[in-house]
Each structure stands twice: as structure tokens, then as C-alpha cells.
């Protein structure tokens, strides 16, 4: 290995003794070898520390601190990183052998791209499912998806460290947490080009405690806020933040009674944002597909809202009869 690694893998762990060995092994088994693994034990109460400090491979660098939470732990790892590229990894996920090499080569060959993710195979615990994360891959389509949701598998991304030095790392502001990944990707995409490699290079394990899957209210509220901010960024000369929040609420089927935005205006806002994104982005291969998907979703959500509001007008006895 050269004096400085080409990629720094940042791997935070909290009580991951049962899975962290597999995660580290998947990194050590990469076809690319010139990397470092910064493993950070965020105050675990199990055997995590004993496991991660036992590695003799000099590329595995173990650190331990009191429990400070995921965003602060990630920022500590980024600060410690020596390489120009930061690869994210979680202790319950796995890399396929060519992931780092393909992402490194992609960023080397596309200097205008700030970060690149990959597609992922979803595992239910230790068992492969028939489901995949196949997010949009061109910069324009990703930015379109970012208007409403997160188009990256967090543990699949590789980011230029200079971009994080420019924009700042993960937010530690409790008023903007969680999700720290969607917040950071949104900031990056407003200034830089982004991408996904349309190939499964990550194994993503679903775990029951994940906020993104149990739908905790603080998580959803922040998703709505970031979504509205992303939409408003492109349409602020004509539409208010409140109107942008309304279209986000429609897409996520939240607070339906509070929505006064009509379908025509929702389409106008979305069209204006989409046109602005298209005019600013070079890579746009799968843009039309993503545009049609979101437009259809907006239309269906308005149909659901209309049905729901009609149901609310029914007498209680009839409402109960309909759903008994």
C-alpha cells in the first residue's frame, strides 16, 4: 500500500458484535487493496470493541469513544480519513468485491461528479430477499427523486472529501435530524453533479429498529421539511415554501386535511422544478422515466385524497358499514 490510501472506508458501529466481522471482511476482500478502514465504536456495550481492535491488518484502524450518535461519529471518521475519497459502510451491510474499485474509477473518470452510490440487494436479516434498491442513476433523475425522497443507499456511497470540506459534513443540528443522509445529499446535489452506478454492489440488511422502516414521526417530519426545501430551491421565484411543503405532504400522504393545494398547481410546481433540474444537469439518461413515475404518483395521491375526504363526509353509521 502507498503512503496514503486512495479510499477511506468510514464504518461506524454501535453494538454490532454479531455482524461487524462480516462487514469488515467484505471490505478486506475488495479487488482494490489501497484503502483504509476507519472503524468507530460509538460507545458499544457489547463485544464490539474487542472485535475491532483485534485486527492485525494495518488498513483496519479502530477508534472508540463514548456514545455521541451516528452523525457525530461519521464526522469524526471523515476528519480522520487520509484519502481523497470517503466510502460509507455500515456494520450490518456488506460490499460486493468490486464496489470500491468501480466507484473509485467512476469518480476518477467523472471529475464533475461529487458522489456516487450503487444499487443494492435487500436482505431480511441474513437472508436474501427478492427485493432490490434500484434508484435512478443519472444526475438529473437523482435530483428529481431528491425532491421527495432519498435516492441513495447510505452505505453504498463514495464521496469526494473536498466536497465535504466545501459544504460541511453530516449535520449535528438536532432540529434537522434524522435523516442525516438525506439532508447531506440534498446539500451536495444543489451544487454538484451526483450519480449511482446501476449495478448491485452492496448488500443492504433490513433491521427492525431502522427509523426509515418503522416510520417514526420525527423522521417523516424531517423528510417533509427537506423535500420542501429541495423543491423550493428550484421554484422560489414563483412559489412559496408553504406551497412546496403541500406538494411534499401530498406525495407522502401526510396531514391530508391540511392540504389546500390543488392538483393543477401541484403539477405546475413539479414541472417548474423538473425543468430547472434538466437545464442544470449534464447526465439525464433516465430522467423521463423518473419524471413519469413521480407525475403518476402525484396524480394517484390526489385521487386517494379525494376519496378520503369523501369518506369523511359519510355519516358515522354508514362509514362503519363500508369498512366492517
CATH T-level topology, domain 7-206 = Spore Coat Polysaccharide Biosynthesis Protein SpsA; Chain A (3.90.550)
| CA contacts within 13 A on the Cβ side of 71 | 17
User: Cell for 313?
Assistant: 363526509
DSSP 234: H
Confidence label for 208 from pLDDT (cuts 50, 70 and 90): low
Q: What is the mean pLDDT of residues 257-279?
A: 92
Instruction: Spell out the domain ranges in the chain.
Output: 7-206, 218-313
Judged against a pLDDT cut of 60, whether residue 304 lies above it is answered with: no
| CA contacts within 13 A on the Cβ side of 92 | 17
Q: Per-residue pLDDT tens for 10-64?
A: 999 999 999 999 999 999 999 999 999 999 999 999 999 999 999 999 999 999 9
Q: What's the CA gap between 163 and 84, in Å, rounded?
A: 10
pLDDT of residue 315: 52
Nearest of 217, 200, 160 to residue 184 by alpha carbon: 160
Confidence label for 254 from pLDDT (cuts 50, 70 and 90): confident
Provide the β-strand partners of residue 194. Answer: 115
Decide if 74 contacts 91 (C-beta within 8 A). no
Decide if 134 contacts 119 (C-beta within 8 A). yes
Provide the β-strand partners of residue 13. Answer: 41
pLDDT of residue 178: 94
Torsion of CA 267, 268, 272, 278, to 10 degrees: 40
Judged against a pLDDT cut of 80, whether residue 305 lies above it is answered with: no
pLDDT of residue 241: 98
Nearest of 39, 117, 25 to residue 77 by alpha carbon: 39
User: Cell for 199?
Assistant: 449495478
Decide if 162 contacts 84 (C-beta within 8 A). yes
Amino acid at each position: 500500500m502507498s503512503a496514503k490510501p486512495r479510499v477511506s472506508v468510514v464504518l461506524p458501529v454501535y453494538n454490532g458484535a454479531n455482524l461487524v466481522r462480516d462487514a469488515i471482511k467484505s471490505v478486506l476482500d475488495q479487488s482494490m487493496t489501497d484503502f483504509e478502514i476507519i472503524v468507530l465504536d460509538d460507545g458499544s456495550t457489547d463485544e464490539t470493541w474487542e472485535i475491532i481492535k483485534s485486527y492485525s491488518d494495518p488498513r483496519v484502524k479502530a477508534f472508540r469513544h463514548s456514545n455521541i450518535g451516528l452523525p457525530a461519529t461519521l464526522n469524526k471518521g471523515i476528519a480522520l480519513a487520509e484519502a481523497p475519497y470517503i466510502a460509507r459502510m455500515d456494520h450490518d451491510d456488506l460490499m460486493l468485491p468490486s464496489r470500491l474499485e468501480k466507484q473509485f474509477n467512476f469518480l476518477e473518470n467523472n471529475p464533475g461528479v461529487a458522489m456516487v452510490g450503487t444499487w443494492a440487494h435487500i436482505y431480511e436479516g441474513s437472508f436474501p430477499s427478492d427485493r432490490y434498491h434500484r434508484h435512478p442513476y443519472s444526475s438529473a433523475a437523482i435530483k428529481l427523486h431528491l425532491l421527495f425522497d432519498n435516492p441513495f443507499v447510505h452505505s453504498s456511497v463514495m464521496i469526494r472529501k473536498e466536497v465535504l470540506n466545501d459544504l460541511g459534513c453530516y449535520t449535528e443540528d438536532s432540529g434537522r435530524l434524522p435523516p442525516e443522509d438525506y439532508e447531506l445529499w440534498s446539500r451536495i446535489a444543489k451544487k454538484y453533479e451526483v450519480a449511482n452506478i446501476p449495478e448491485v454492489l452492496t448488500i443492504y440488511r433490513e433491521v427492525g429498529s431502522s427509523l426509515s422502516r418503522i416510520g417514526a414521526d420525527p423522521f417523516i417530519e424531517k423528510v417533509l421539511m427537506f423535500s420542501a426545501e429541495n423543491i423550493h430551491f428550484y421554484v422560489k421565484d414563483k412559489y412559496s415554501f408553504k406551497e412546496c411543503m403541500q406538494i411534499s405532504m401530498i406525495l407522502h400522504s401526510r396531514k391530508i386535511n391540511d392540504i389546500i393545494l390543488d392538483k393543477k398547481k401541484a403539477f405546475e410546481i413539479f414541472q417548474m422544478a423538473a425543468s430547472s433540474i434538466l437545464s442544470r444537469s449534464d447526465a439525464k439518461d433516465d430522467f423521463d422515466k423518473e419524471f413519469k413515475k413521480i407525475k403518476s404518483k402525484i396524480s394517484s395521491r390526489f385521487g386517494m385524497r379525494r376519496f378520503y375526504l369523501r369518506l369523511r363526509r359519510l355519516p358515522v353509521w354508514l362509514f362503519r358499514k363500508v369498512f366492517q
